[in-house]
Amino acid sequence: MRRREFITLFGGAAALPFAVRAQQAGMPVIGFLSAGADNDPRFVPAFRHGLSEQDLVEGRDVALEFRWAEGHYDRLPELATYFVRRSAALIAAFGPPAALAAKAATQTIPVVFVSGADPVASGIVSSLNRPGGNVTGISLLINEMVAKQARLLRDSQPKAVSIGVLVNPSNVSFESEMNDAETAAKGLGLRAVVHQVTKDEEIEAAFADFVQKKVSGVLVAGDLFLVSRTKLIVALALRERLPTISNGNGFAQSGGLMSYGTDIPEAYRQAGIYAGKILKGAKPSELPVFQLTKFQLLINMTTARVLGVTIPPMLLAIADEVIE
């Protein structure tokens, strides 16, 4: 082989994405498909940690290839199909829309999901104990948190008469989240001002309406589009001096007043464990859906001071973490 040809071939191989070269070398590729955005530094390392617990190390035993829909759920079917065309060994799907897109794209490639929606009611699996088919994963039980979040928001604002609610109508569980929020608010003697949002400008308009209608706080539904807009939501909440609560603990860590929900990085770690088990021969149909049942309350006292909110001692006493 001529020197020029050798350099061209060598340079071309080096220029290929690592996951492509890994697959060419016989290393299994995991397609990491998220309905959200790559804006939380804890999630991917948690998934890698789960793989390592099954003695699978990225770059040595497996390759990861990432695709982020960034809250644009209409992109997910094509992104899932891409991994099918790539002959990925497994698709790890994060968020109900990603899980459904992966399930629709393949009946043979194993799929491990993380979902806040009820995975049976949303059609991701047929059963929690025996999922069947090629799909299993981790359930966050987000819908069960809405009533508690509304109560916590009211407890932080004892004189509240109304609360704002942000939901994404593109989410498969948005109707149940909206109904749960309205029911919870009514049970607490509050009026719920609900806004369905799918764009940044709709979030901004929602906050303007919340101010006009004098809501006392805002409940942000557990949706990956809304998670991907955490910075915008927190900035608007601080500007308008509105206390907010959402599910992921990253929300309070990013400046929201409170977070109440399951440990999302732990869900990613468990997904990594399941992915590792399947790559080692376990059948998805025989791995029951893992349900995270431990809830955490985080309160950001720096945000409370900025908002001029006095957090009742009762809430501080039950908080798992108080951020100063």
Q: What confidence score (pLDDT) does residue 273 get? A: 98
Q: What confidence score (pLDDT) does residue 248 get? A: 81
Q: What confidence score (pLDDT) does residue 173 get? A: 81
- Please, what is the angle between helix 43-53 and helix 264-279, to 10°? 40
Chain length of the chain: 324
User: What is the C-alpha to C-alpha distance for residues 135 and 111, in angstroms, rounded to an integer?
Assistant: 5
What domains sit in the chain, N to C, each tagged with a CATH number?
3-141+263-294 (3.40.50.2300), 143-262+296-323 (3.40.50.2300)
Q: What confidence score (pLDDT) does residue 6 get? A: 41
At 39 the three-state DSSP class reads coil
Query: H/E element holding 321?
Result: strand 321-323
Phi, psi of 73 (to 5 degrees): -65, -25
Q: What confidence score (pLDDT) does residue 160 get? A: 93
Q: What confidence score (pLDDT) does residue 141 get? A: 75
pLDDT tens across the length of the chain (324 residues): 444 444 334 344 444 455 555 555 579 999 999 999 998 899 999 999 999 999 999 999 999 999 999 999 999 999 999 999 999 999 999 999 999 999 999 999 999 999 988 899 899 999 999 998 999 999 987 766 888 999 999 999 999 999 999 999 988 888 888 888 999 999 999 999 999 999 999 999 999 999 999 999 999 998 889 998 999 999 999 999 999 999 888 899 999 999 998 888 999 999 999 999 999 999 999 999 999 988 899 999 999 999 999 999 999 999 999 999
Closest CA to 168 of 235, 119, 117, 104: 117
Q: What confidence score (pLDDT) does residue 8 get? A: 37
Burial class (CB in 10 A: 0-12, 13-18, 19+), 241: exposed
Q: What confidence score (pLDDT) does residue 177 get? A: 83
At 285 the three-state DSSP class reads helix
At 29 the three-state DSSP class reads strand
3-state DSSP: the chain helix, strand, coil percent, rounded to 5? 45, 20, 35
